[in-house]
Amino acid sequence: MLHLNLVDNHHNGQTASSLPSTNQEGIAISPTPNINLDSINDQLGETEASQIVEWGVDTFREGLVMSTSFGIQSAVMLHLVTQIVPDIPVIWIDTGYLPGETYVFAEELTKRLNLNLQVYQSTISPARMEALYGRLWEKEDIEAFNRYDYIRKVEPMQRALQELNATAWLAGLRSNQTEHRKSLRRVEMQSSRYKIYPILSWSAKDIYKYLSTHDLPYHPYFDLGYTTVGDWHSSRPISAADTNERDTRFRGLKQECGLHLPKTEEEARSLDSSLL
Residues with catalytic function: 257
CB-CB neighbours of 31 under 10 Å = 16
119: nearest Cα among 103, 143, 140, 99:
103
Residue 68 DSSP SS3: strand
Dist. CA 122–CA 152, nearest whole Å? 5
Give the span between the Cα atoms of 63 and 49, in whole angstroms.
19
How many helices (H) does the chain have, and how many strands (E)?
10, 6
Handedness of CA 81, 82, 88, 90 (dihedral sign): positive
**Diameter over CA atoms, the chain:** 55
- Cα 220 to the center of its chain, rounded Å: 20
